Amino acid sequence: MREAARAMPTAALDYGDPRGNVALREVMAGYLRRVRAAAADPERIVICSGYAQGLGLALHALARTGVRTVAYEDPGSPATISSAASWAGLSAIPVPVDERGIDVQTLAATDARAVVMTPAHQWPTGVALAPERRLALIEWARSRDAVVIEDDYDAEFRYDREPVGALQGLAADRVISIGTVSKSLAPALRIGWMLCPPALTELIIEHKQLNDRGSPTLDQLALARMIESGRFDRHLRRMRTTYAARRKTLVAALAEHAPEVRVTGLAAGFHAVAHLHGPADEQDLIAAAHARSVGLYGMSTCRSSHATEPVQLILGFGNVRERAITAGITAVGGLLRGR
């Protein structure tokens, strides 16, 4: 680790570089090159307060360059992205996602010059953007003078799928990649990072400076130390095993108590999508599960139309222990089967 971080001189208590502490930016660049195949340059990393701030900074910077419309994945995070876009003075439009990821042809037919997306593990369907779509997306960005905002939020957690590198590694001039420790460590830390394209770096730094003059230095030094010492990698290895066991428990419980229900999106992350058949009403199901003390989440909140059909439920298993997963699915198995 750089001397600056280890010895923590008093300079660490002064206002720092608005991009973030250089020790963390250097360690982070090495980590993202190694783990995400990202084209990470410490000079163009901006440490931010989670993905939430990163998205806001990216959209404000894009608005300053003349972008007027930003597209987002549907299903996805319509409420979050629409609010962040309107805060930056942009309009937001949904573009459908299918089993190969975002539909790039439909995207190209819009007037959007930016798109917010989750290429490695689409929220909430769990699909990875297919290789030909990755290339088509970059081609779209180049020909449209557009920018992709890559939300790399749960990229560390994959179980039985080949690693999918960050899109940013393929087109560092066209992609703003945003990472976060909210899934790998804890949301309360509020630490994230942005890999900025050269043409937008200064604008993003300017907005970060205006926003908060830089993220808290001591937290950054602690994270740098954790990554550099190897403890972050060890933690991720341990958590992968934990989440894989929870996922296995979920799959086994569903096979036993609701075998008709098709489950997708399990290759990575902390949630699966259950596809229900037959006459079922999303809101009735959620209310009935709630009455049995089980929290279920409907796909309707992720759809721009808020449509409740086809009926799909998002089953999170990240912060539920195995025994609770089994008990929960046992309790709602009949509901999922439509009985």
Query: Can you give the binding site for ligand PLP, defined by CB under 6 A?
Result: 50-52, 77, 118, 123, 151, 153, 180, 182, 187, 192
* Least distance in angstroms from the C-beta of 337 to ligand PLP: 29
- Cα–Cα distance between 72 and 240 in angstroms, integer? 29
- Closest-by-Cβ residue to ligand PLP is 50
* Least distance in angstroms from the C-beta of 76 to ligand PLP: 8
* Least distance in angstroms from the C-beta of 50 to ligand PLP: 3
Q: What is the residue whose two structure tokens read 């899934």?
A: 183
Q: Between the CA of residue 307 and those of 67, 92, 97, 284, what are the distances in Å?
A: 29, 18, 15, 14
Strand order of the β-sheet with 297-298 is: 262-264, 271-275, 312-316, 297-298
* Least distance in angstroms from the C-beta of 72 to ligand PLP: 10
For Cα atoms 276, 282, 287, give the angle at the middle one, nearest 5 degrees.
120
If the CB atoms of residues 26 and 151 are measured against ligand PLP, the closer one turns out to be: 151
If the CB atoms of residues 74 and 151 are measured against ligand PLP, the closer one turns out to be: 151
If the CB atoms of residues 7 and 188 are measured against ligand PLP, the closer one turns out to be: 188
Largest distance between two CA atoms of the chain: 65
- Residue closest to 198 by CA, chosen among 175, 214, 180, 178: 175
- Cα–Cα distance between 266 and 259 in angstroms, integer? 16
If the CB atoms of residues 77 and 177 are measured against ligand PLP, the closer one turns out to be: 77
Q: Are 157 and 317 in contact (CB under 8 A)?
A: no
If the CB atoms of residues 272 and 332 are measured against ligand PLP, the closer one turns out to be: 272
Query: Which amino acid, one-letter code, is at 252?
Result: A
* Least distance in angstroms from the C-beta of 167 to ligand PLP: 15
If the CB atoms of residues 51 and 243 are measured against ligand PLP, the closer one turns out to be: 51
* Least distance in angstroms from the C-beta of 77 to ligand PLP: 5
Q: Are 91 and 121 in contact (CB under 8 A)?
A: no
